[in-house]
Chain A
């Protein structure tokens, strides 16, 4: 496979891609240890802010990476025929305190796809569901078109 064309996505194209999708891969790091998880998100293009729900248990590996306000990277990508697009957001993950909830939070989390709580095998009351915001300090996107003559 060869790359026929690779271009940067415009700000509008990035916003459109983020609006088309509702899941991505969130990556965290602790020292030199990486951690990546699939997540669902809501996104506000005005503030470049992502709204995330993260589900964990006290023993979970995820909890260990969420103990402070970690630097995070969120990757959203799509494939459409021979065209591949990806967006990478980098920023700090901050927990949302339910007591500081606003109408904007309720609206944005309402737009975020419901997580698959069933995979945890627990009722919602027994799960630790935490809300986070990711303020994208950098937001970049690329489009790659693959040469159709190559295998």
Chain B
């Protein structure tokens, strides 16, 4: 992981889990799904991080 800056807030549409992610994690979530509940992650599960 080369980009450690958290750019987005991820919210799982199925389990409601939230955590901040960077670009690499966003890509991994879109490809692999929510690590907590395994739901498919849509593009609109991300918003700009508050920090």
Q: Does chain B have a CB within 8 A of A119?
A: no
Q: Which of the candidate stretches A9-17, A31-39, A62-70, A100-108 sits at the interface with the other chain?
A: A100-108
Bound-state Cα–Cα, A53 to B37, Å: 8
| A110 with B39: CB separation less than 8 A | no
| A103 with B25: CB separation less than 8 A | yes
Q: Does chain A have a CB within 8 A of B36?
A: yes
A interface, over-half SS: helix
CB within 8 Å for A103 and B24 given contacts A98-B17, A110-B31, A110-B33: yes
Residues of B within 8 A of A25 (CB): none
Q: Does chain B have a CB within 8 A of A129?
A: yes
Q: Does chain B have a CB within 8 A of A124?
A: yes
* In-complex Cβ contact of B19 among A53, A99, A112, A129 (8 A): A99
* In-complex Cβ contact of B35 among A117, A127, A131 (8 A): A131
Residues of A in contact with B, size category: 20 to 34
In chain A, what residue has the closest Cβ to B41? Answer: A106
Taking the nearest CB of chain A, how far is it from the CB of B11, in angstroms? 11
| A109 with B32: CB separation less than 8 A | yes
| B20 with A110: CB separation less than 8 A | no
| B16 with A109: CB separation less than 8 A | no
Taking the nearest CB of chain B, how far is it from the CB of A101, in angstroms? 6
Residues of A within 8 A of B20 (CB): 99
Q: Residues of B at under 8 Å CB distance from A?
A: 1, 14-21, 24-25, 28-29, 31-33, 35-39
Q: Residues of A at under 8 Å CB distance from B?
A: 53, 98-99, 101-107, 109-112, 114-115, 117, 124-125, 127, 129, 131
